[in-house]
Structure 1
Amino acid sequence: MKAAKDNVVIPTYDRDLMMPGIVHFGLGAFSRAHLAMYVDRLLARGDADEWAVSGIGLMPADEKMRDILAEQDRLYTLITRAADGEPDARIIGSIAEYLYAPDDPEAVIERLAAPTTRIVTLTVTEAGYTLGTTAANESAPTTVWGYLLAGLTRRAERGIPPFTVLSCDNIQGNGSIARNALVSYARGAGSDWAERIATEVAFPNSMVDRITPATTAEDIDTVEQITGLRDEWPVSSERFEQWVIEDNFSAGRPAFETVGAQFVADVAPYEKMKLRLLNASHQAMAYLGILEGYTYVHEVVRDADFATFLRGYMREEAAPTLDDVPGIDLAGYQDELIARFSNAAIKDTLARQVVDGSERIPKFLLPVIADQIAAGRNIERCALVLAAWQAVLLRGATRPTDRAITSDARLDELEAAALAGEEHPGAFLTIVPLSEIDDERFTRAYRKARAELREYGPRGAVLSLNRDAVH
């Protein structure tokens, strides 16, 4: 770090004094730009040595993270990019250790069982809460749920109170969903802990927000130019950040409110706002943008036709379904989202947004449709996004070179439904969970959107809705 240029923020705290108080499963780009950054700020204040992070990797791809962090003394660079101006660089030092679970499962369990471990945080993606929640007959854990159960069991055997499980994934009610997943796993394993988990372990809900694309070779070169240091796995993100956390912890917590986070009694209004305005908008831009031939989010939102469509979705279809959000001006929030999406310096790819669409669409977009139908309001823009999803899946099914862009655990099933929809227009709506919206208004809106998309293309379909909004 001594070789870093003067404009780089480096850790000023004594890293030898750090103790892991937070264990994090899924130490990817987002958690390194978010959780680890908040902890780094706390450490810089000089009063949080006991809250450093122990990162845990479970997947084969995590071997690379293990090796690079080991080579770099668990340091890495966070680059934040504004739409105008030079990027800022900060070297994050809050990772006290990194354990690759397949190397030594026992070491992971011991870290979870340590009295100093008081919070376990998760970024395991939407799919992580459904995959691996069935207990297997195994000599050592292989999933996050297996490790959590093993750690809690060992703590109980030693008379150590349970840690808090804090999900940082983009799922509404993420704490409640994490609780249900772990209880389900424990019951399947025949553990006496199943009911105790439900009552003794805190699972606060949280809302996290920071656009953080995957690291590219260009990012690595940029970091070297800015800092004078070679970092093999930096993180690049936007400047904006938000973390709203339910104040419900069973073993104490850091003072994250002193470094930018917000503790509240009820996260639900903030979660719903973010998922239905930001995340659902990402889905809209991604599928329509891919069909239009765009590569990046900023390209879509800088196109006036698509920006008008996006604003119409937010204002006419998403915002009416939201509750009052304390301290938030919804109109201003929507304007801020458009500005964030327009940030070309981020280079956020549309391909990143369509990964696991079968998990994202149900959580981000379908609740908007259900609430709008119940209130007798407009769903035309939502329907067009679903028609665009089907069109992208169809393109992947018929053009193998395009298939990789739609990475999804259910891809074969989805492509089959998309193909069936060519012969029978409503067939795509029979897949779960689209089939759960059993309403003729939804079916009509989807069929109309599909027909316009096929006849006029994405721009023409968007323009049709934009004109309808004017008239």
Structure 2
Amino acid sequence: MKLKQQNLPQLPAHISRPAYAINEVTAGIAHIGVGGFHRAHQAAYTDALMNTGEGLDWGICGVGTRADEVAMRDALASQDYLYTLIELDDRPDTEVRVLASIRDMMLVGEDGSETVVARLADPAIRIVSLTITEGGYCMDDSTGQFNAALPQIQHDLENPSAPISVFGLLCAALAKRRGEGIGPFTIMSCDNLPHNGDVTRTATLAFANLVDADLANWIAQNVSFPNAMVDRITPMTSAAHRKALKQEHGVDDAWPVVCEPFVQWVLEDKFVAGRPAWEKVGVQFTDDVSPYEEMKIKLLNGSHLALTYLGFLRGYRFVHETMADPLFVEYIRQYMDKDVTPQLAAVPGIDLTLYKQTLIDRFSNCAIADQLERVCSDGSSKFPKFTVPTINRLIADNAELDRAALVVAAWAMYLKGIDENGTRYSIPDPRAEFCQSLVEEDEGLAERLLGREEIFGTHIPRSSAFRDAFERNLLRLRTLGVSGTLDLLLTR
């Protein structure tokens, strides 16, 4: 049965569906970057709140800025913006649920900048949220400054009435609201990066200052940018997922979303124009998200990177395959226990021992079938946020460096584009060609790669101890392979 609003009553009884009147939902949130994670996280929380009978004025209007988002818009539009969320686990009681919190989606390329800006400037929109990936914030990781030289930013500076970038759209909409005497909206990042609200504020104000200093001052005084820690493993939806939904549940969904049962959202309660009562459906509000954020980024995201390039080199293609290898499990345990945990402050309400075991269990979930390629992607943007801070602290503490250095050595080997079985693969990174050029020649590789401050900052290139550890582990990978390297590292 095709997923459409008129067909909801005919769905099988075990499939959860909206308990609210879909036609009564109005948009209070505009979300830029409608992908799997947004649909499995923020949109799922919002739908859950609506199912309690609250928050129908907090529906979501999606906004797309990239050409490749047409397919998502078309898929959702073809089924009245409904979609199916499928939890994947070994347990028999996992949820299959139809959501309706997203009610519309606009594309800058088709609907036009003026139309999108007008929608963002609508007083009904009180939150603009973002999932635009780590690289979407236009920040130079080596300097911490906004990169105004990027083509889309230059376009918007030259064509302020027809913006195409995220920050061009935000500033144009805020300028329109200011000019019309309409209050500001909250800008809420839901991306996996440290202090995501602070980063969003820095980028927004940097762009605004290039356009209109008075506007920048108004934004600084009136717009809020809450920090958040978000967490849910959400693999790419595959043809097999669509087929299984159709065969096992009788639902023909053009683009369902699959995810693990675990979900977490810790959010600073800083909203200038109101917010949904998300705390009623499991969101944890706090005055300071920092300890939760550091825990998650260093333990989950850092451990993900620690296993993903090694696993890919070994010939594995899924996270659970990698975690079925006892060498990898022990390596990840030692990385978390010995390298990361000593760096973490106490996290209110969190038992770190239990949290780390939960991560092992989540990574080992074979039903989720999370692709290593997904975790490998955009490594040049992930390293500065997920791994470099841990390494910097290890260097400062004169601590053991081999486990962390192996993560970087594995990436260097991964960038060669061929695994231990001789299988060739492409590198999913916007800077893939540049990164691969750094490892093309073995002579001087450490200096070229580690010397890239936009990736590794300033401490790592200056640390002879880390360079030695990197070169030592790179040599081991070349001569002993992944399993031999892990065996030597874990038993010495």
Show the 5 A alignment for 1:1-12: 1-12=8-19
**Equivalent-residue separation in structure 2 for 1:448 and 1:85 (angstroms):** 46
Q: Does 1:121 align with 2:129?
A: yes
Deviates more, 1:164-173 or 1:135-144: 135-144
Deviation of the 1:294 alpha carbon: 0.3
Deviation of the 1:88 alpha carbon: 2.1
2:98 paired residue number: 91
Q: Does 1:67 align with 2:74?
A: yes
Deviates more, 1:238-247 or 1:122-131: 122-131
SS of the aligned residue for 1:83 comes to coil
Letter in 2 for 1:126: E
Deviates more, 1:322-331 or 1:191-200: 191-200
Q: 1:245 to 1:18 in 2, by over 3 A?
A: same
Deviation of the 1:302 alpha carbon: 1.4
Q: Does 1:15 align with 2:22?
A: yes
1:377 paired residue number: 399
2:466 paired residue number: 442
**Equivalent-residue separation in structure 1 for 2:450 and 2:108 (angstroms):** 40
Of 459, 462, 468, 2:486 maps to 462
**Equivalent-residue separation in structure 1 for 2:210 and 2:371 (angstroms):** 39
**Equivalent-residue separation in structure 1 for 2:430 and 2:407 (angstroms):** 20
* 1:264-291 alpha-carbon deviations (Å, 9 max, x no partner): 0100111111111111111111100011
Deviation of the 1:422 alpha carbon: 4.3
Q: 1:222 to 1:86 in 2, by over 3 A?
A: farther
Deviation of the 1:193 alpha carbon: 1.1
* 1:251-270 alpha-carbon deviations (Å, 9 max, x no partner): 11111010011000100111
Letter in 2 for 1:419: E
Deviation of the 1:426 alpha carbon: 3.7
Letter in 1 for 2:472: K
Of 435, 439, 442, 1:418 maps to 439
SS of the aligned residue for 1:233 comes to coil
Q: Does 1:29 align with 2:53?
A: no
2:5 paired residue number: none
**Equivalent-residue separation in structure 1 for 2:32 and 2:292 (angstroms):** 24
Deviation of the 1:225 alpha carbon: 2.7
* 1:384-423 alpha-carbon deviations (Å, 9 max, x no partner): 01000000112359x997342x222222221111123445
Show the 5 A alignment for 1:176-255: 176-255=198-277
Of 359, 367, 372, 1:345 maps to 367
Deviation of the 1:199 alpha carbon: 2.4
**Equivalent-residue separation in structure 1 for 2:379 and 2:189 (angstroms):** 20
Of 42, 49, 62, 1:42 maps to 49
Deviates more, 1:182-191 or 1:133-142: 133-142
1:451 paired residue number: 475
**Equivalent-residue separation in structure 1 for 2:173 and 2:446 (angstroms):** 50
Q: 1:401 to 1:299 in 2, by over 3 A?
A: closer
Normalised by the length of structure 1, the TM-score is 0.96
**Equivalent-residue separation in structure 2 for 1:376 and 1:126 (angstroms):** 30
1:393 paired residue number: 415
SS of the aligned residue for 2:76 comes to helix
Deviation of the 1:133 alpha carbon: 4.8
Q: 1:180 to 1:226 in 2, by over 3 A?
A: same
Deviates more, 1:437-446 or 1:303-312: 437-446
Deviation of the 1:189 alpha carbon: 2.2
The share of aligned pairs that are identical, in percent, is 41
Of 324, 327, 343, 2:346 maps to 324
2:355 paired residue number: 333
Kindly report the root-mean-square deviation, in angstroms, between the aligned alpha carbons of the 2 structures.
1.8
Of 134, 137, 153, 2:158 maps to 137
Number of residues of Structure 1 aligned to a counterpart in Structure 2: 467
* 1:358-396 alpha-carbon deviations (Å, 9 max, x no partner): 000111001000011112222211100100000011235
Deviation of the 1:239 alpha carbon: 0.1
**Equivalent-residue separation in structure 1 for 2:217 and 2:90 (angstroms):** 49
- Is the 8 Å Cα contact of residues 3 and 228 (structure 1) preserved in structure 2? no
Letter in 2 for 1:450: L
Normalised by the length of structure 2, the TM-score is 0.92
Deviation of the 1:428 alpha carbon: 2.3
**Equivalent-residue separation in structure 2 for 1:353 and 1:444 (angstroms):** 27
* 1:108-138 alpha-carbon deviations (Å, 9 max, x no partner): 1121111111111000000100164554312
2:117 paired residue number: 109
Q: Which runs of 5+ in 1 are unaligned?
A: none
**Equivalent-residue separation in structure 1 for 2:271 and 2:445 (angstroms):** 51
Letter in 2 for 1:338: I
SS of the aligned residue for 1:207 comes to strand
**Equivalent-residue separation in structure 1 for 2:26 and 2:368 (angstroms):** 33
Deviates more, 1:368-377 or 1:133-142: 133-142
SS of the aligned residue for 1:232 comes to coil
Letter in 2 for 1:303: D
**Equivalent-residue separation in structure 1 for 2:361 and 2:425 (angstroms):** 31
Deviates more, 1:190-199 or 1:158-167: 190-199
1:78 paired residue number: 85
- Is the 8 Å Cα contact of residues 187 and 226 (structure 2) preserved in structure 1? yes
Q: Which runs of 5+ in 2 are unaligned?
A: 1-7, 139-149
**Equivalent-residue separation in structure 1 for 2:442 and 2:58 (angstroms):** 52
Q: 1:424 to 1:276 in 2, by over 3 A?
A: closer
Deviation of the 1:201 alpha carbon: 0.7
Q: Does 1:58 align with 2:68?
A: no
Of 296, 301, 312, 2:318 maps to 296
- Is the 8 Å Cα contact of residues 179 and 197 (structure 1) preserved in structure 2? no
Q: 1:286 to 1:424 in 2, by over 3 A?
A: closer
Letter in 1 for 2:343: T
